[in-house]
Amino acid sequence: MSGYSLLEGLRILEVAQLAPSSVGGHLADLGAEVIKIESGPLGDPVRVGGSRAIGDEDGPSFMHLRWNRGKKSVALDLRTAEGRQTFLDLARTCDAVVEGMRGGYLDWLGVGYEQLRKVNPRLVFCSVSGMGSDGPYRNLGTGGPVFDAFAGLREVHTPEEPPTEGIAGSTTPPIAMYALGAYGAMGLLAAVHRAGRTGSGCKLEVAGIDVAAAWMPDLVDAELNRERSIHRPSWLPDGRLPDWPRLEAYRTKDGEAVLFGAHVDKFWRNFCTAVDRPDLLEVDLTGTDAEAPARADHVYRELRDIFVQRTREEWVALFLAHDIAGGPVNSVRDLVTDSHFTVRANTYRVEYEGVGELEFVASPIRVQGEKFAPSLPPELGADTDDVLRKVFARSVSDRSGGREPSSRE
């Protein structure tokens, strides 16, 4: 059972591993029927990825439990003629195919877009890979941190001594790896929408490196137009706003921290009034003259001394009471017990056989009148017989003169 009912009737055929599985994951969360093709004794390697396992040391990973929830699993060997024909028969009944391997994988197997469109002209084909299908790096094996490093999104150090936190073990999450699925799902849905209007499908491509490059316009777009843009005089030469202390994190009395967000003058005035520091309002934090950095440093030191006088909880309460922008700095452990997080029903529970009740983060999309409650990911090949039995029945009906099945049946 998928999460919501928004995409009920949409059928997706997925050949994807690891992060590209999140494309189908987003679609399943919204109600699509996602048929995941898996092969080999382990299926999608994400099933056992990550440092934590559920149940026993060979139990499922949390990425698998997120990205493959609500899907159906069909065990199918696409290297065989029978497997390829079954795949084509499946595609005939689907709205879209997600290829989440290296670009061109299904072409290599002989069941790529050109073969698929012959059996289903309305089909949308979404290829999701790391490096894309063209360019000199197209055959380069990649992973999540590589996308960010390629695009300059990730700060990379190469110390002389062995690092305590390497790229792979860093707590800094790879941006493009997690954004990949959302972009893929968005593009696929747009293409399915057009196919419903025109009767013609198309081929899409989403690459991790392209997602990383497009993520922050103030980085790549600014560099592309470096000679055609000028420095904005209201900013300091080092790239910061002159009032940067009003947009900083500060340590609190209990050893925690808050993020101060009083860049807007209203919030800054409210804060200075609430803490009885009208003198800070007299400090010019708008000018960019030679003394501007010193003025900002002075305000920062004053704010540092002010914030350490109350606990994080007390500061959040003061922010709320006096209409001041900001919020708590949480660790992940803090987050899951934060009252704002819990009251918004950000999680759901599901029973896991042999382990008990598990709790997971829900989709960030909320649908009024519906409760997000997807099923656990399927065991490898769990839906093979059921799905293929229906496909075989349709094929027999077609050959006997029955009507052509709709891709939304």
CATH of residue 303's domain is 3.30.1540.10
Report residue 318 as tokens: 């003061």
Integer Rg of the chain from CA: 26
Are 183 and 300 part of one and the same domain? no
- % residues pLDDT > 70 (the chain): 94
Are 323 and 383 part of one and the same domain? no
- Beta bridge pairs of residue 12: 34, 96
Question: By three-state DSSP, how is residue 348 classified?
Answer: strand
- Residue 199, burial from CB neighbour count under 10 angstroms (0-12, 13-18, 19+): exposed
* CATH number of the domain enclosing 182: 3.40.50.10540
Say if residue 218's pLDDT is above 90. no
Distances (CA, A) of 147 to 47, 134, 135, 142: 22, 16, 15, 8
pLDDT in tens, 349-391: 999 988 999 999 999 999 999 999 899 999 999 999 999 998 7
Read off the pLDDT of each residue in 132-137 and give the average, rounded to a whole number.
91
Are 52 and 156 part of one and the same domain? yes
The pairing of beta strand 72-75 with beta strand 33-38:
parallel
Are 258 and 153 part of one and the same domain? no
Are 75 and 148 part of one and the same domain? yes
Please give the backbone phi and psi of residue 240, each rounded to the nearest 5 degrees, phi first: -100, 155
For helices 21-29 and 175-198, angle between their N-to-C axes, nearest 10 degrees:
60
Arithmetic mean of pLDDT over the chain: 91
Are 384 and 300 part of one and the same domain? no
Question: Do residues 110 and 84 touch, judged by C-beta distance below 8 A?
Answer: yes
- Would 128 be classed as within a structural domain? yes
Are 319 and 382 part of one and the same domain? no
What's the pTM value of the predicted model, to 2 decimals?
A: 0.90
Number of structural domains (the chain) is 2
Are 300 and 203 part of one and the same domain? no
The closest of 9, 23, 12, 194 to 101, measured between CA atoms, is 23
pLDDT in tens, 56-98: 888 999 999 999 999 999 999 999 999 999 999 999 999 999 9
Are 21 and 143 part of one and the same domain? yes
The closest of 46, 213, 34, 2 to 126, measured between CA atoms, is 34
Which string of DSSP letters, residue by residue, matches 158-194? --SSPPSS-TTT-SS--HHHHHHHHHHHHHHHHHHHH
For helices 384-399 and 81-92, angle between their N-to-C axes, nearest 10 degrees:
70
- Would 343 be classed as within a structural domain? no
pLDDT in tens, 104-116: 889 999 999 999 9
The closest of 164, 167, 141, 144 to 155, measured between CA atoms, is 167
For helices 312-322 and 265-274, angle between their N-to-C axes, nearest 10 degrees:
120
Q: Domain ends where: 335, 355, 377?
A: 335
- Structural domain containing residue 16: 11-216+364-399
pLDDT of residue 231: 86
User: Which residue type occupies 314?
Assistant: E
Are 175 and 315 part of one and the same domain? no
Question: How many angstroms separate the CA atoms of 345 and 366, rounded?
Answer: 10
Q: How many CB atoms sit inside 10 A of residue 323's CB?
A: 12
Distances (CA, A) of 321 to 30, 307, 356: 37, 16, 41
